[in-house]
Chains A and B, each alone.
Chain A
Amino acid sequence: MKPQPVTLKILNVLSVLLFLTALGMVFLYAPLEETMNYVQKIFYFHIANAWVGMLGFLAAAVSGVIYLVKHDQKWDIVELAAVEISVVFFLIAILAGSIWARPTWGAYWTWEPRLTTAAILEMVFVAYLLLRQGIDDPDRRARFSAVYTLIGSISVPITFMSIRLFRTIHPVVVGSNSSASQGTFSMTSPMLITMFFSLFTFSVIFVDLFWHRIRLGQLAQHVEQLKLEEHQ
C-alpha cells in the first residue's frame, strides 16, 4: 500500500486547523442568541453535520450508478466509504439536534416530519452496512449495494424537503418557517458567517475522511485478495 500522498497530508493539517477555527468562531465570535442563549450554539455543528451527511449519501448513490455502468470494484469501495462516513455525520446531526430540542421544544424527540424522515434515512443506511456483511461474493455484494444505495438515496430529498412541504416544528434555515416552527431565531451577520464557515469546515473534513476511508477499503480489498490466493 502506498504511503499517504502529500495532498492528503496537507488536507489532514487543514482539516484540524479549520476544525479548531470553527470551534473558536462558535464559542468566541458568534454572539449569544437572545432567547435560547448557549444551547443555540449547537446549531452551527448540527447543520454542518447534516449537510455533509446528506451530501455523502448522494455521493454514494452516484458511485452506485457508476458501479452499475462500469462494474468496477473500485466504485463499490467509494460507495461504501461515502455511506459509512455519512452515517457517522448524520448520527451526530440527529443526536446533537435532539439535545438542542430538549430545552427548546421540551422533548428530546417528537415524531414530526423532519425528525421522522431523518431517522428513516439514517436507519436505511445503517441497514445497508449490516446487510452488506451478509453477502460473501464481492460482485453480488457490490451489485446489491449499488441498487440499494440508489433506492435508499430517495430518502435524501424527502428529508431535505420535509420541513418545506409539511407543517412542522423544526425551523427552516433557508426559506420561510411554518407557523408551527419552534426554536426559530433571526440570524445576525456573525452567526451567518460562523454557519457558512462550519459548513465549509465539515465539507473539508468530509473529503479528508472520505479519502482515508477509500484507502482503507483498498487495503481491505488487497488483504481479501491475498487471503484468496493463500487458500488456493
Chain B
Amino acid sequence: MLDFAVSMKYMLAGYVVILSILAIYLVSLVVRWRNLKRDMEVLEELQEKPT
C-alpha cells in the first residue's frame, strides 16, 4: 500500500497539471480572439478611409 503523504503529493501534482494546462489553453483562446478582433477593426477602418 502506498504511503498516504506520498500518494497525496502525486495526486495534487496531477490535478495542478490538468487544471494549469486547461487554464493556459482557455487564456490562449481569449488572447487570440482579442488580437484578431483588433486586427479586424483596424483593417475595416483602413478600408473605410478614402485613398
Q: In the assembled complex, which residues on chain B have CB atoms less than 8 Å from the CB atom of A212?
A: 29
Q: In the assembled complex, which residues on chain B have CB atoms less than 8 Å from the CB atom of A100?
A: 10, 14
Which bucket holds chain B's interface residue count?
20 to 34
Specify the main secondary structure of chain A where it touches its partner.
helix
Q: A34-B1, A103-B2 are in contact. Are A39 and B47 (CB under 8 A)?
A: no
Docked Cα-Cα span, A38 to B46, in Å, equals 58
Minimum C-beta distance from A26 to chain B (A) = 9
A38 to B21, Cβ gap below 8 A? Answer: no
Q: How many residues of A contact B (CB 8 A)?
A: 35
Minimum C-beta distance from B43 to chain A (A) = 4
Minimum C-beta distance from A44 to chain B (A) = 10
Docked Cα-Cα span, A96 to B14, in Å, equals 5
B44 to A226, Cβ gap below 8 A? Answer: yes
Docked Cα-Cα span, A222 to B11, in Å, equals 44
A residues sitting closer than 8 Å to B (CB atoms) are 1, 34-39, 41-42, 45-46, 49, 85, 88, 91-92, 95-96, 99-100, 102-104, 209, 212-213, 216, 219-220, 222-223, 226-227, 229-230
